[in-house]
């Protein structure tokens, strides 16, 4: 049975495991490197899950299949950023990412956010198609994926 759940600080090991798996599988999709993430302490992982910003996972029994998070920039209560979207290769095409994104959009609405934004890496056409079908639009605002990277990410935005 597949479920979506918000995880918290006590789930730090699950979060660490899926985040490291995501970074190993798709190093060009995230602004942090696998090597840097491996250096995080237990407290770093717990801190990332503390607070009101949700981190959601798709779970099939004990196996984590996908993740995504929402973050409200300080001083910008009307804006939420989606981050960390990733689906395990064996679960791609099964609606996990769409379900996570729908839940994150619901969270933004409950908090009266009017704008939801995310970044998509150039060449990640399947992610871009998903985001477009969920109402996100390209802004034309590009920046390097990581400092010194030739790979670019584009900001996409949805008004809700």
Mean pLDDT over residues 64-89, rounded? 96
Ramachandran angles phi, psi of 114, nearest 5°:
-110, -15
pLDDT of residue 1: 83
Alpha-carbon distances, residue 31 vs 5, 13, 108, 139, 151 (angstroms): 24, 21, 22, 19, 11
| CATH label of the domain that carries residue 68 | 3.40.630.30
Q: Which structural domain range is residue 128 located in?
A: 2-159
User: How many domains are contained in the chain?
Assistant: 1
Encode pLDDT of 119-130 as tens digits. Answer: 999 999 999 999
Digit-coded pLDDT (tens) for 21-56: 999 999 999 999 999 999 999 999 999 999 889 999
For residue 9, what are the CA distances in angstroms to 6, 66, 120, 142? 10, 18, 27, 33
53-73 average pLDDT score: 96
pLDDT confidence of residue 52 = 83
- For the chain, percent of residues with pLDDT exceeding 90: 93
Q: Is the pLDDT of residue 157 over 90?
A: yes
């Amino acid at each position: 049975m597949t479920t979506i759940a918000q995880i918290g600080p006590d789930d730090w090991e699950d979060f660490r495991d899926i985040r490291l798996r995501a970074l190993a599988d798709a190093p060009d999709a995230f602004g942090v490197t696998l090597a840097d993430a491996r250096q995080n302490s237990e407290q770093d992982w717990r801190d990332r899950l503390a607070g009101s910003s949700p981190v959601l996972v798709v779970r099939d029994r004990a196996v984590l299949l996908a993740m995504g998070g929402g973050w409200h920039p300080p001083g910008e209560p009307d804006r939420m950023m989606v981050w960390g979207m990733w689906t395990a290769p064996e679960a791609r095409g099964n609606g996990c990412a769409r379900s996570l994104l729908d839940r994150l959009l619901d969270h933004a609405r409950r908090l009266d956010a009017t704008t939801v934004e995310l970044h998509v890496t150039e060449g990640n056409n399947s992610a871009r198609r998903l985001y477009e079908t969920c109402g996100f639009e390209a802004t034309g605002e590009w920046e390097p994926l990581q400092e010194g990277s030739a790979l670019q990410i584009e900001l996409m935005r949805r008004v809700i």
